[in-house]
A = this chain, B = another copy of it.
Amino acid sequence: MPEQLPKGFRAAGIYSGVKENTSRLDLSLLVSDAPCVAAGVYTQNLVFAAPVKLCRERTPSETVRAVVINSGNANACTGDLGDRDAKAMAARVAEVCGFADTDVLVLSTGVIGELMPMEKIIPGIEKVATFLGRDEDSLVNAARGMMTTDTRPKISSRIVTIDGQTISICGVAKGAAMIGPNLATMLAVVMTDARISLQDAQEGLKDAADESFNCISVEGHTSTNDSVLFLANGAAGGPELKGDALAKFQATLVEVCEDLAQSIPADGEGASHLITVEVHGCRTRDEAIQIAKTVADSPLVKTAIAGNDPNWGRIVSAAGYAGVQFDASKVCLHLNGSLLYERGQPVPFDGDAVSREMEADRNTGVVLLFDEGEASARFWTSDLTAEYVRLNADYRT
């Protein structure tokens, strides 16, 4: 099934000249025919980029009409001039499309510490607006225009029927597993034609991000530009979603966000495995996340999996230093379905067979069981290969 924009949205992506490589797109525009309820979640890094500052000021909102996104330059660490440029980008979109300045949001990703080449971006904005379309090509081009070291565009869409209304959710994202020239910036824009209140949009996005974008870890390095935007234009018609209808919508939103989030560690020339770390039996979800994240961030765990090595010792001991109290004599570990460690003791297993299975499957599943409570968490990451390091070390600022 082709990926599809929700009703009332149009998209485009072009090459504007910010990137040196003329075969890659670098400027995207997403536009809604009607004002959108808009929410955002942003990087927690104290060093954040000019477009993040702009979006923070302009969301939440009930009147957003467009998001302009460029790749190749992050407009980060660029001071007051960077703020001026981000505003000018929004202003030019507003002029060209006939919106109010403050109803346009801006996302950027790329090199940091360099001023935005406005002499390329401004004509680019005029041009990209002429390509806006509702077809799949337009959507894919918009997803391509966000890419930096991504090897493929990232799009996820769902159509659901809620109380007789056909509602569509579609998200585009960028972010690659392994190479971090832009500090592995993660950007996503999720659009829907559902009608949602501002408060539900805000809470819904935050909850969905907590179960998806906040559960991936590539380098443990939060970028200056990380942003997730949510736009709902109500074009599907019907009343504002509430109660069960809202819950059904939210479940679908989480699916789309999980799809997009997983695609980030799954992408990247250097990665050989997508690792899913599941943690069960913790006292609280925060504790489960803390353990899952610590295991997922461990370079020793990630290199072992790159080498198809069922090294339970690295996994169990990473859990042990997560800063969460647990009874170590109750811990169990499964790797790709094989029990390797049971109630605090290693279990005899066929290491060669498990290793061969790891090698044959791009997905690696790590399941840690504790005996402290009922809370669970899931975290995604990629393995750590020599190729990853080579690409990162060779990339030059």
Chain B residues, Cβ within 8 Å of A311: 397
| A372, chain B: closest CB distance, angstroms | 12
Q: 1/0 contact trace for A308-324 toward B, CB 8 Å?
A: 01111110111111000
Question: Which one, B183, B298, B304, B393, contacts A307 given CB within 8 A?
Answer: B393
The answer to whether A159 has its CB under 8 Å from any CB of chain B is: no
- Determine, out of A97-105, A133-141, A279-287, A343-351, the stretch whose residues face the partner at the interface: A343-351
* Chain B residues closer than 8 Å to A220, beta-carbon distance: 297-299
Question: Would you call B320 and A351 a contact (CB within 8 A)?
Answer: no
Find A303's partner among B79, B304, B393 (CB 8 Å cutoff): B393
- Whether B392 contacts A389 by the Cβ 8 Å rule is no
Given known contacts A222-B321, A300-B392, A393-B307, A77 and B351 CB-to-CB distance under 8 angstroms: no
**Chain A 99-143 interface mask (CB, 8 Å, partner B; 1/0):** 000000000000111000000000000000000000000000000
Contact A221 B77 (CB under 8 A): no
Whether A313 lies near B77 (C-beta < 8 A) is: yes
Complex CA gap A385/B385 in Å reads 10
The distance in angstroms between the C-alpha atoms of A331 and B45, with both chains bound, is 14
Say whether A180 contacts B309, CB under 8 Å.
Answer: no
CB neighbours (8 Å) of A331 from chain B are: 47
Is B346 in contact with A77, judged by CB distance below 8 angstroms? yes
Residues on B with beta carbons closer than 8 Å to the beta carbon of A76: 313
A351 to chain B: which residues have CB within 8 Å?
396-397
Closest to A319 in B: B47
Q: A residues bordering B, Cβ < 8 Å?
A: 43-48, 76-77, 79, 111-113, 180, 183-184, 219-224, 297-300, 303-304, 306-307, 309-314, 316-321, 325-326, 328, 331, 341, 344-346, 351, 355, 384-390, 392-397
With known contacts A47-B319, A47-B328, A397–B221 Cβ distance under 8 A: no
Which residues in B have their C-beta under 8 angstroms from that of A385?
A: 389, 393
Chain B residue at smallest Cβ distance from A316? B47
A321–B43 CA distance with the chains assembled, in angstroms = 9
Contact of A344 among B77, B300, B320, B321 (CB under 8 A): B77
A383 to chain B, nearest CB (A): 8
Q: Could you tell me if A112 and B307 are in contact, using CB atoms closer than 8 angstroms?
A: no
B residues near A48, Cβ cutoff 8 Å = 320
- In the bound complex, CA of A360 to CA of B395 (Å): 19
Judging by beta carbons under 8 Å apart, are B219 and A309 in contact?
Answer: no
In the bound assembly, the distance between CA atoms of A391 and B72 in angstroms comes to 34
Q: Chain B's nearest CB lies how many Å from the CB of A77?
A: 6
| A47-B319, A312-B113, A390-B386 known; A396 vs B77 contact (CB < 8 Å) | no
| A45 lies within 8 A of B183 (CB) | no
Residues of B contacting A112 in the complex (Cβ-Cβ under 8 angstroms)? 313, 317
What 5 new A-B contacts, CB under 8 Å, besides A47-B331, A77-B345, A113-B312? A48-B320, A77-B341, A220-B297, A386-B386, A388-B389
Distance in angstroms from A275 CB to nearest chain B CB is: 14
Residue numbers in B under 8 Å from A395 (CB-CB): 307, 309
- Nearest CB in chain B to that of A308: its residue: B393
Q: A47-B328, A320-B45, A320-B224 are in contact. Are A397 and B219 (CB under 8 A)?
A: no
Whether A389 contacts B397 by the Cβ 8 Å rule is: no
